[in-house]
Amino acid sequence: MAEDMKSTNGNSISGFVNTFEIPPLTMYESLAAMAQERPDEKALSYYGKDLSYTELQSKIDNCTRALLASGVREGDVLALCLPNLPAAVIAFYAANRLGCICNMIHPLSPPRLVGKHLEETKSSFLFIADIAVNKLRPLLEELKETQTMKDIIICGMADDAPAWKRPFLKIQLRKNKPEKDLLAGLTPWNSFLKKDESVSKIPARSKDHRSVCAYLHSGGTTSEPKTIMLSDYNFNAIAYQGNQLLGYPLSEPAPYGKSMITVLPLFHGFGLCIGMHTCLINDIKVYLLPRFSAKAVADLFKKNKANYICGVPTLYEALSKADEMQEADLACLEAAFCGGDSLTPELKDRFDKFLADHGSKSKLREGYGLTETVTVCSVMPGEFAERNGIGLPLANIKMKIIDSESRETLPANKIGEICVSGPTTMLGYLNDKEATSHAIVSHEDGLDWVETGDIGYQDEDGFFHFKGRLKRTLKVSGIPVFPKEIEELISSLEQVRYVAAIGIPHPYKMTVVKAFVVAHEGADLKELEKEILRLCEASLIAHAVPQEIEFRDSLPQTLVGKIDIKVLEAEEAEARSDTQAG
């Protein structure tokens, strides 16, 4: 059972188990243990084609041998530039079994960025999806001329799909069918796997579970992107407490027959750790979706009675509005988690009502994390799911709020910088010791803390709340203004769909607030602008009231679905420059 935790005011609140022993296993060994324990349970499903743990284990074995036959050795870096395909799961665990490092790259990244990620990590093998071949043509032609890339494996969207689905996926490919000259020298996934026949023995890896097993790339929404080094130990520190995240005792065996909709991308910590690894080592069937589709999600609820889903706020916004979801029976849904971006109280209330109206007893539970700690550090426990906030720290993880300058721990309800310490802390930034030393700092308590650059507070009951990025704190006439506070307030209006607030130049205040708003269809924009100003003037300090409001049809998003503040600021700066030049 969950142990009691003491809140900041001394009251006892029920939360997560405070500590547990993390098994000294690699990610592959953790999966293999579940495969041995429950060989016939379903592990993966791709458009209705299921793989049992035994079948998944067999495919990982085949892939491991194929890697060995291709010259892969322990310590090599394998780049996985793939959507959520069975091949991505299989290749990841096969590489992990050999002690290789998986370099996880967004499959829609432009050639220049993929090339940068390959070069800085010294990746020697590249796995890409067939639909991305044409887009990456300049890079692929360049790579074929070099000696650094030993092989490029093309994974088909239809390779592991059921027979009925393949024609639909091939229609999609036909629009981007690569020419034969481009495919020359590249290895199809199924041909690659046949190489396994020449290898009979798989050597044991010598690297331990605390060495680097994956490179993840930060989104770069508020600072320069970094390549983050993570270990098996980092991932397992979260994955082995999957039961308590879902409301089951940590000390008991995983329940049977549960399933997760994994639409969050595997190149991201949230998708890789929670959507894939946590599920697979806890006997939770993974429904892989390579791209978000409200219809596909609705079908998984209607036909397959999926139990869990994780997503970013924009996913839940889209689901609540989708026609395909309006008749869905969600009685099967036991838990819905939101992370990757801040969840406004308005969206939480609206989605909670949506869940109740569709038969689910669950409520949307917000969590908090960052790639420097793999993913989730805290989440709202199920028994407090009606509350707003990012909840309580997971087992073995400590969180606190500090004054960024003095590094003194702040009392309840005081806003400061969120700090995290525990076994999920990254090994560091690749080739950047200076940046690592700024991110991971030893405090007076003797612990190493990740100083997140995020602003928040801990309330008197012990629950944490996220307020925004430290670098997004604006100074208007010298007064601190928090864009997150403005965004939450404007989002509470019924006619507002998305909102982002940034700072813009001002001749004597230096900076003032500008709000970008996406309204729901049919909204009267003139009246909505007046309503926004009335609400802000009534609710915020004068410095925080937007001086400009711009309505847009959409806002730029990062590769993982967050509103991209950095791009928005760049667009605004360019527009102002053009205006001045004109």
Query: Whats the size of the chain, residue-wise?
Result: 582
Mean pLDDT of 383-408: 95
292-472 — its CATH code? 3.40.50.12780
User: From residue 63, how far is each of 73, 131, 213 by CA, in Å?
Assistant: 13, 22, 17
pLDDT at 244 over 90: yes
**Segment 539-581, tens digit of pLDDT:** 888 889 999 999 999 999 987 788 999 899 999 999 988 777 6
Mean pLDDT of 331-337: 98
Whether the model clears a pTM of 0.85, i.e. scores above it, the answer is yes
474 forms beta bridges with 481
The pLDDT value given to residue 582: 61
Is the domain covering 473-581 a CATH 3.30.300.30 domain? yes
Whether the Cβ atoms of residue 304 and residue 286 lie closer than 8 Å to each other: no
Of 388-402, 405-419, 475-489, where does mean pLDDT reach its minimum? 475-489
Rounded Cα–Cα distance for residues 202 and 68 (Å): 8
**Does an H or E element contain 284, and which?**
strand 284-288
pLDDT at 195 over 70: yes
For the chain, domain boundaries: 27-252, 292-472, 473-581
Query: What is the topology classification, in CATH, of domain 27-252?
Result: Rossmann fold (3.40.50)
Mean pLDDT of 314-337: 94
pLDDT at 220 over 80: no
How many Å from the N-terminal Cα to the C-terminal Cα in the chain? 67
Alpha helices, DSSP H, located in 99-241: 111-121, 137-145, 166-174, 180-183, 189-193, 232-239
pLDDT at 222 over 70: no
φ, ψ for residue 442, nearest 5 deg:
-80, 125
129 forms beta bridges with 155
The pLDDT value given to residue 305: 97
Mean pLDDT of 196-201: 92
